[in-house]
A and B are shown apart, each in its own frame.
Chain A
Amino acid sequence: MSSTRPSPATDDIPAVTVKGVTKRFGDTEVLQGIDLSVPTGATTCLIGPSGSGKSTLLRCIAFLEEATTGTILIHGDPLGFAEGPNGQRSRLSPQKIRAVRSRIGMVFQQFNLWPHMTALGNVCEALVTVRKMKRSEAEDLGMAQLSRVGLENRAGHYPSELSGGQQQRVAIARALALDPEILLFDEPTASLDPELTGEVLNVMRDLADSGMTLLVVTHEIGFAATVGRRIAFLDHGKLLLNGTPQELFGEPRHPRLGQFLETYLDRGAATLL
């Protein structure tokens, strides 16, 4: 592990606590009782085969999906639902939900930039509309975020004028502008070709090095192994393994994980493990 990375923040409360979360779509139980805690100030990677429920879990933590049962805490504060003494859930007020959600940043596989706004406009939108900042102040802050992802000279470009990698970096800047405590990534490089994947992963590596809390759903096993402090392996809606990269990727290896990793080893990622 790199020695330049700062140690996790001193507080013991995890950035995200997931307790007994299930998610049902009709008859399919996509998540079957997940317990997970995401440490503050480090990178946690969620890996697993397609359909294992890792994206659904991330979307539940972003409150884009509502967990069917269970609790999610953001630095100890309940997200969406409060749990009573007998385990019954009651929905929080929209204001409370938004207050907790505003502490989470989300980056999507499809970037989801707003096409009618420039890169800077995308980054500044919530600062002006939600945080009620002055346009000029918001633009200063937005420019700072764009230079953090190396795109200060693309501020006036529309998403259609940017490459996929640049769009994803703008999306990261947009999430960073709100100064979130946790940044969630849902397969951020899955729709990029290998060359563009690198520039996005570099930005994420810098964020990890700066001590941000990242929770990353990814198929980039090399990234997970080198940047991830914790790795969680999901399979068929269950959290099968949860530990450090050494614990998971070292020998002896869990047979199901070994089977999953073989597809990557074929592609030469073995050297990274």
Chain B
Amino acid sequence: MTLDFGLMLDKMPEILSGLWVTLWMWVVSTILGAALGFLVATARRYGPAAVNWFLKLCVEILRGTPFLVQLFLLYFGGPFVGLRLEPVPAGLIGLTIYASAYFSEIFRAGFQAVPRGHVEAAECVGLSRTQILRRIIAPEMTMLVLPQCVNMAIILIKETAILSIITVPEMTMVIGAIGSQQYAFVDAMFLLAIFYWVLVEICGFLGRLAEARLSKFRFAVS
């Protein structure tokens, strides 16, 4: 087998547009998923028991079924209940909701990891409940859960490949299509693997950079 990337060079504009779609959908769904996950974790912790129970059920379903199936149900099943979505919005919504389930579990563990005494110290100097959440718990939790969040972002960038099955014109769909047209499927997949790997490495590098910056905030030991 010979790999012929020359074929791919001619298609560079298409490949770059696929790369761009992958990149922005990944970044947006990761940010929205993390924000939604934070809200879910907060509501589960501070909201009424019924809300906690309902959200727990949602998270269990989302974590207990493949993303591929969830996306199919949203895109092909949506019209049956009057929800007709274009591929890109459907992919973005699907990926965000899928991500939020995992992020909510990360933040839930983060809430539990903030020492009770740090909250008590804040109560003693008169901070209100929302001030404690905003000024003490949220920032402490962020540094505690950063490694897991980076890990989740890495998982999500690879999950974007699944968006190709509902015809989102992202990297996997574009390069896969080129490979089929040119009868160079292996070459295409090899190139694709390299692209994903480079993105993952960049993400991991940024994550390590952020961790290093936060390292001096780590918990003081007596």
Contacts and interface: CB of A to CB of B under 8 A. Distances in A.
Interface of A: 62, 64, 98, 101-102, 104-106, 108, 110-116, 125-126, 129-130, 158-162, 164, 167, 171, 174-175, 178, 191-192
Q: Nearest 7 A-B pairs (CB), nearest first? A: A126-B125, A159-B220, A112-B121, A112-B117, A164-B222, A106-B124, A130-B126
B143 A162 contact: no
Contact of A178 (B126, B135, B220): B126
Interface of B: 115, 117-118, 120-128, 131, 135-136, 139-140, 143, 216-222
Nearest to A163: B222
B121 A62 contact: no
Contacts of A104: 124
Contacts of A116: 139-140, 143, 217
B140 A115 contact: yes
A22 B218 CA distance: 39
B142 to A, nearest CB: 8
A243 to B, nearest CB: 29
A64 B217 contact: no
Contacts of B124: 62, 64, 101, 104-106, 175
Contacts of A113: 121, 220
B43 to A, nearest CB: 22
Nearest to B134: A129
B216 A158 contact: yes
Contacts of B121: 106, 108, 112-114, 171, 174
A108 B125 contact: no
A101 B136 CA distance: 19
B135 A167 contact: no
B176 to A, nearest CB: 45
A160 B217 contact: yes
Contacts of A105: 124
Contacts of A164: 222
Contact of A130 (B125, B217, B221): B125
A112 B127 contact: no
A112 B128 CA distance: 17
A124 to B, nearest CB: 11
B131 A167 contact: no
A160 B214 CA distance: 12
Nearest to A165: B222
A158 B218 CA distance: 9
A216 to B, nearest CB: 16
B126 to A, nearest CB: 4
B220 A115 contact: yes
A126 B117 contact: no
Contacts of B128: 98
B136 A126 contact: no
A178 to B, nearest CB: 6
20 contacts: A101-B123, A106-B121, A108-B120, A108-B121, A114-B118, A114-B121, A114-B136, A115-B118, A115-B140, A115-B143, A116-B139, A126-B126, A129-B135, A130-B125, A160-B218, A160-B221, A161-B216, A162-B220, A171-B121, A178-B125
A167 B222 contact: yes
A112 B135 CA distance: 14
A62 to B, nearest CB: 6
B123 A115 contact: no
A106 B139 CA distance: 23
A59 B219 CA distance: 24
Given A105-B124, A106-B124, A125-B125, A112 B115 contact: yes
